[in-house]
Structure formats: C-alpha cells, structure tokens
Amino acid sequence: MLSKRIIPCLDVKDGRTVKGVNFVDLKDAGDPVELAWQYAQQGADELVFLDITATHERRKTMIEMVKSVARQLNIPFTIGGGITSIADADALLSAGADKISINSAAVKNPTLIEDLAKVFGVQFVVVAVDTKLVEQRNMVHLNGGRLLTELETLQWIKQAESLGAGEILLTSMDHDGTKQGFDCKLLDQVCKLINIPVIASGGAGKTEHFTEVFSTTGVDAALAASVFHFGEITIPDLKTELNKHHIPVRLCK
C-alpha cells in the first residue's frame, strides 16, 4: 500500500505566509521559504504554496519565491494561484515547482485542465476545489471562497477528472480553520466517485483528525496549515501516531 502523505500548506500573501478561519481574518505565520525548509527537515512528504491574492502583475514575485524554495527542498512542491495559461504554468515549473494547482481558472475555462495535462502530463495538474454547503448542497466557490458558483462539487470534481486532472485538492470552507476535523463524509463520497488521488484539506486540529480521515475515507493525503505553522502538531509526532494506528506513512528519520 502506498504511504499516506502529510502536506503542510502555505497560503502566501505579499510574500508572507498567512492563515485565517473560514478563509477570513488572516494572520501572519512567517516567511514561506524558511517554513518550507523547516517542514522538509521535519519529514513533510510534499508542500503546497497558494498565492491567495494572485494577479498577473505579481507573478514575477512568485517565480522568485519558487526559485528560492526549489534551491532548498528535496521534496515535491505544488504552486497555485493566478495560473490561467500554459505560459503561467511553464514559468512556474521552469522555476522549480513540481506541480501546479488551478482553481478559479479551471472553472471559468475547463479546457485549461485538458491543455495543461496534454502539455505537461496529468501528474503535474492538481485541481483545487473550494466547497461550501449551500442549502444542503456542496457548491463550488471561487476567488478564495468569495464567489458562489452554480456548480455542484461532486459534479465538478468528476468533470475535472475526465478532463485530465491528476489530483484533487478538496478544501471544505465550512471546516477550514475551525480545527474540528476534516469533512470525512464528503471526502468519502469523492474518493468513491473518482480514480485519482484526493488531498483532504480544511479542519485539522489534532492528530486524531488525521487518523480519522485516513481510516474512514480513501484520501491519499491530508493537508493542514495553522496546526503546523503554530507548532500545535509536529510532523514527526503526527507520523508516529499514524503509524501506531497502522496507517502507512513515510516515517521521519
């Protein structure tokens, strides 16, 4: 069985790592390059960087950060935010990123998934999905969770897979930052619906939440931010605990 992955997520704004609750009330959490190095040393399996207020004008800033991160890391990392074209993705991959993550741009232009998969391969294309319950239906949201769409989450995820997504990064906005646990019910539905890896995001607050999501759903990885950034959970301790519950992980050296 493949090892389950633990992935710290660094939401980057103006060159700094930030973290909020339910996508708002952002607080500074440190320098992203320094945090990336620390997580690699601790035994993180991958990293995700999301430029949460990305614009084309700031793409150059992100490329410089990607180069700085790539010089220090020996684990894969994904970069997302503001990627709307083959050229955007090519620039970031050329700077050293291993995968790119697309969200709003993919919903607005679904063929972008197909185009990226054809040029770079499906393994490079992560489709991030921000979902929130609206009148008892999980609906896709865009622009950092600020814009409600008419797309039902499960329907969109299935379409993304068919277009060439290599992985789904699913964030529950209702659970994000609450530290009350992952949305295991929805994640289980998604894992049974598609055949590509799923990364769980939103709600991690203690080690038991990671144990629960890996034990009750088919997710391949679990992503978290604040619990790692502020030292509430350390990756070595987390992996030791998961190992005790017979969840396959790459143990820290």
Which residue is catalytic, options 45, 51, 88, 130?
130
The whole-number pLDDT of residue 52 equals 63
Distance separating alpha carbons of residues 215 and 219, to the nearest angstrom: 9
The whole-number pLDDT of residue 198 equals 98
Strands (DSSP E) contained in 14-136 are 16-21, 24-30, 47-51, 77-80, 99-102, 125-134
Distance separating alpha carbons of residues 4 and 33, to the nearest angstrom: 24
Residue 223 has pLDDT above 70, yes or no: yes
Give mean pLDDT, residues 71-86.
91
Distance separating alpha carbons of residues 102 and 106, to the nearest angstrom: 6
Residue 152 has pLDDT above 80, yes or no: yes
Residue 22 has pLDDT above 50, yes or no: no
Of the candidates 216, 146, 143, 142, the residue with the CA atom closest to the CA atom of residue 181: 216
Residue 20 has pLDDT above 60, yes or no: no
Give mean pLDDT, residues 152-162.
98
The whole-number pLDDT of residue 21 equals 45
Amino acid identity, position 55: T
User: Is 31 a residue of the active site?
Assistant: no
- Could you say which of 3.40.630.30, 3.40.50.300, 3.30.565.10, 3.20.20.70 is the CATH number of the domain covering 5-244? 3.20.20.70
User: Is 115 a residue of the active site?
Assistant: no
Q: Which residue has the higher pLDDT, 65 or 196?
A: 196
Which residues fall within 8 angstroms of residue 236, CB to CB, at 6 or more apart?
42, 43, 252
Give mean pLDDT, residues 134-163.
92
Give the pairing of strands 47-51 and 221-224: unpaired
Give mean pLDDT, residues 166-177.
92
The whole-number pLDDT of residue 33 equals 84
Which residues fall within 8 angstroms of residue 75, CB to CB, at 6 or more apart?
40, 44, 45, 46, 47
Residue 29 has pLDDT above 60, yes or no: no
Domain ranges of the chain: 5-244
Q: Which residue has the higher pLDDT, 60 or 67?
A: 67
Give mean pLDDT, residues 138-158.
91
Give mean pLDDT, residues 134-145.
88
Mean of the per-residue pLDDT values of the chain: 89
The whole-number pLDDT of residue 24 equals 46
pTM equals 0.92
Predicted confidence band of residue 114 (pLDDT cuts 50, 70, 90): very high
